[in-house]
Amino acid sequence: MRNLHYGLIGFSAYAYAIRFRGLLPTNVDWIFRDAIGDVAGFDSTANYLGWEFFRRGAFLVWPVGRSTLLGPEPGASIAMTDSLPLLGIPVKYLTWWTDQPLQYFGVWILLCFVLQALFAGRILQKFISSHVAVLTAVVLFPLMPVYLSRVGVHTPLSGQWVVLAALALLLSSHVSWGRWLVLNVVAMAVQPYLGAMVLLLCSCRVFAECWVRRTIAQNQMLTLGVSALGSSLTAHQIGLFVFGSGSLQAGGFGDFSANVLSLVDPLSDSASSHTSSWSQRLLVPNVIDGTFQYEGFGFVGTGIALVATAVAMNLVVRSRRRQLLVPLILVAVLMTSAFSDISWQSALMLVSLAVVFVYFVKGDGLGRSSRVSLSVALAISIVVSLTNVVMIGDRQVIYPWPDALQSFLATVRVTGRFIWIVTYVCSFAVIVMLFRSVRSLQIALVMIALTVTVQIFDSDYAVFRQRELLRVNRTSMGMESALWVQIGERYRAINFVLPRPAPNLENPSGGQDQSTLNEDFWFAKRVLWADLGEFAAFRGLAMNAFYFGRDPRSQYQLEASDLKRVVENQSYQSDALYVFIDSALWNQAKTFRRDQDVVGLLDGIPIVAPNLRACASCSFDDVVQVRPLGD
């Protein structure tokens, strides 16, 4: 019955925050809301189109997540477009009979709200006996800023309930290898970053058991072994390695990190951030952080930040060591504030969160294994999320790391997301210590109710902004010519020349060879991979380049060499449309052309359509003729 209550809290939070927008599977328009001109929409657009390409590809494939219509040969995968393989793979085989555009992301958002509340309640009930108190506190978790900020932007990362489920297992009295195995498989099939977090928490619990028992037990090794094996096999089957192990590493390590002050920073200041301010009235002051640290957004919320300060003060004042603790805390606050030029309030809140966590870990409600595993998990999560380029506000401190460690973590790249573990653990610690430190249950209930009220009240505009992301407000993709219908019927593939990550029209920039500057490339202002991706996906056409989570570098190089020879020899495939984004090769293609090919700009897009002039029913009035090089 308690689980049902927690689920109802999650459903109510969903109704308040999302209001059922995007829930209908046949409603796909909200996903394309900003495929043009706004980077915040790139992830959701790629997630959905990646699923449509996957669904319409070959029915039986190996690994099961391979996407045969997308990417360079021999194809991409549902993992490389981050299309939520946990649902995407089974739904493919349930919807093979229809070409109706469908999406499961709206249902996933609702499911995540319910599970977020469910697992939060299961953790809190371990420490708080009052069911009313637990129900009140649970409201905070499906409305956490780190959770809601992902809804509608990077929807698979809304599955942060798997982290809460892992924390629940970590805090359990015994280690169940079967439960850890299932959770690791599910987490990896939701999103690889979440899978890595769950595997980390599992490893910390196994380490703690061995540390406490001073022996390596068979059950612990079995748990770690099957969890790691399950995660690896799942990663393989969803297609995480489809581009080869070399593609897993990516740039950005040390940039997409968390700030030391992320837990008390309600807004990322990066110009490319789409994070709303989660303290509308700035009850928690904003912190100036690094350029790319929107990925390390870890704000605990206004209510939790404020009550953490009150709880920490209460704990210290009642402590027998207050004469030592008070000066230490004041020094820590002053040093943090002075070094990073932030407000003393932010420094005090951060130090208070640390104090509350220490008291929580030392409390009676945790066993030795849970204490060790929580402490190790937080230490590793903090180090990984901050990286060796530590940002404290806008101040930077760099310390050396071994090359092997940096190379390994480069496969993760966006390490700042590991701050979510710290955010959730500190939030639980604050709530639990509130009820432990306040002797009157009634007073504690009033305080937690005020915490919830303040958090909702101060973040109402940010919640409104997230809700608006799920409105049906898409913009036109601009492919209006009737000739596109004929193209969709006559061709089976779209080849970008030359393929590259997130393909768009690009002229040479400063410092590059300006002799290939192409005036034709200034006509199109759209995001080609999104527009042509929608066009191709809905018609079952293959497309050789896309917006992938990792880049198929070696495959792109091989295909680029082949396509360059095709253009030079004019040996175009009769069933493929060629879209030019390389200005030098476009100059060559429009200068040397075959009579039956259509060469020009169609709705601003440079194309070579082999043998299309043989189409008697086609009208070429919309094709803008282009001048050969030298005219």
DSSP secondary structure letters along 129-165? --HHHHHHHHTTGGG-HHHHTTTTTSGGGG-THHHHH
Q: What is the pLDDT of residue 559?
A: 93
Cβ pair 202, 227 in contact under 8 A: yes
Q: Is the pLDDT of residue 522 over 60?
A: yes
Q: Is the pLDDT of residue 336 over 70?
A: no
Q: Identify which has the larger pLDDT, 217 or 438.
A: 438
Q: How confident is the model at residue 76 (pLDDT cuts 50, 70, 90)?
A: very high
From the list 624, 590, 586, 618, the residue with the least C-alpha distance to 490 is: 618
- Computed on alpha carbons and rounded to an integer, the radius of gyration of the chain in Å comes to 27
- pLDDT, tens only, 106-139: 999 999 999 999 999 999 999 999 999 999 999 9
Q: What is the pLDDT of residue 36?
A: 41
Cis previous bond, 402, omega within 30 = no
Q: Is the pLDDT of residue 190 over 90?
A: yes
- pLDDT, tens only, 24-55: 999 998 887 554 444 456 888 899 999 999 99
Q: What is the pLDDT of residue 332?
A: 67
Half-sphere exposure of 4 (CA within 13 A, CB side): 1
Q: What does DSSP assign to residue 295?
A: G
Element (H, E) at 106: helix 105-124
Which of 311-325, 407-421, 511-525, 611-625 is most confident? 611-625
Cβ pair 294, 395 in contact under 8 A: no
Cβ pair 270, 290 in contact under 8 A: yes
Q: Is the pLDDT of residue 628 over 70?
A: yes
- pLDDT, tens only, 354-389: 999 999 998 877 888 899 999 999 999 999 999 988
Q: Is the pLDDT of residue 80 over 70?
A: yes
Question: Amino acid letter at 15?
Answer: A
Q: Is the pLDDT of residue 509 over 80?
A: no
- pLDDT, tens only, 528-542: 898 899 999 999 999
Least confident of 205-209, 314-318, 419-423, 573-577: 314-318
- Residue carrying the six token digits 């990792």: 550
Q: Is the pLDDT of residue 283 over 90?
A: no
Query: Average pLDDT of 592-600?
Result: 92
Half-sphere exposure of 485 (CA within 13 A, CB side): 6
Q: What is the pLDDT of residue 409?
A: 77
Query: Average pLDDT of 388-394?
Result: 87
Query: Average pLDDT of 545-553?
Result: 89
> Phi, psi at residue 609, to the nearest 5°?
-110, 100
Tell me the C-alpha distance between 552 and 76, whole Å: 9
Q: What percent of the chain clears pLDDT 70, i.e. is strictly above it?
A: 90
Which distant-in-sequence residues (6+ apart) come within 8 Å of 280 by Cβ? 458, 459, 460, 461, 462
Query: Average pLDDT of 549-554?
Result: 86
Question: Amino acid letter at 144?
Answer: M
